[in-house]
């Protein structure tokens, strides 16, 4: 049995979609300032479902953030760009990484390279994006990440958005103290 939207809901969805598409065609993506996460000085590979963070001690994990500027009505974010300067092979090549966005920084039960486990702040979750990293290049790897639900995420503004990373699939051996840089593509 197929599910069908009522005509009014379908028409409303189509109007919203066309409005967003028109805005994108006219203005293109607006890139928010990038935000960086520096990994610890460890080369051990990540296994599936591990936190990717700046510190192996849970109490010392600092969750990076991105300020979304004040824009009437907020922003629409259809895609995030995730880059790493880690050129180790296989390293991050082909690895699936999950990005979670938060309205306030969560705390964790564990630190870097330990099981992903939120201690406090789960009620501040905004959205989840999935990234599949490119093959390792001579200067790193990248991904264009899509939201897990829908085609875009609406973010009210002004808002400082916090972001966390989880290795969904295992990585290869990585280089110590490298960085991940997150850049949201937003429509104002």
Q: What tens-digit pLDDT sequence spans the chain (188 residues)? A: 444 445 554 454 444 444 444 444 444 456 678 999 999 999 899 999 999 999 999 999 999 999 887 888 888 899 999 999 998 877 899 999 999 999 999 999 999 999 999 999 999 999 999 999 999 888 999 999 999 998 899 988 888 999 999 999 999 888 888 999 999 988 87
What residue spans define the domains of the chain?
30-187
Look at residue 105 in the predicted model and tell me its pLDDT. 97
The confidence score (pLDDT) of residue 26 equals 45
Q: What is the pLDDT of residue 24?
A: 44
Q: In Å, what is the CA distance from 141 to each residue of 45, 90, 92, 146, 174?
A: 16, 10, 7, 17, 12
Partners of residue 68 on adjacent β-strands = 159
Per-residue HEC secondary structure of 122-169 comes to HHHEEEEEEEECCCCECCEEEEEEEECCCCCEEECCCEEEEEEEEECC
Q: Identify whether the C-beta of residue 89 lies closer than 8 Å to the C-beta of residue 147.
A: no
**Predicted TM-score (pTM) of this structure:** 0.82
Q: Are 128 and 98 in contact (CB under 8 A)?
A: yes
Give per-residue burial for 115-152: e unless 16+ CB within 10 Å, then b.
ebebeebeeeebbebebbbbebeeebbbbebebeeeeb
pLDDT, position 29: 59
| Alpha-helical regions (H) of the chain | 7-27
- pLDDT the model gives residue 158: 85
Of 126, 115, 110, 122, nearest to 166 by C-alpha is: 115
């Amino acid at each position: 049995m197929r599910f069908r939207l009522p005509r009014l809901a379908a028409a409303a969805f189509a109007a919203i979609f066309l409005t967003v598409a028109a805005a994108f065609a006219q203005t293109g993506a607006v890139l928010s300032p990038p935000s960086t996460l520096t990994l610890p000085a460890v080369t051990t590979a990540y296994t599936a479902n591990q936190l990717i963070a700046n510190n192996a001690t849970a109490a010392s994990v600092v969750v990076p953030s991105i300020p979304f500027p004040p824009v009437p009505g907020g922003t629409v974010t259809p895609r995030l760009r995730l880059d790493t300067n880690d050129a180790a092979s296989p390293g991050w090549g082909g690895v699936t990484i999950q990005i979670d966005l938060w309205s306030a920084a969560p705390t964790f039960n564990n630190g870097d390279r330990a099981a992903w486990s939120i201690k406090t702040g789960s009620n501040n979750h905004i959205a989840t994006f999935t990234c599949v990293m490119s093959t390792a290049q001579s200067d790193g790897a990248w991904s264009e990440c899509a939201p897990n639900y829908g085609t875009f995420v609406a973010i009210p503004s002004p808002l400082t958005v916090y972001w966390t990373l989880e290795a969904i699939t295992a990585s290869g051996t990585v280089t110590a103290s490298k960085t991940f840089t997150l850049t949201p593509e937003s429509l104002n």
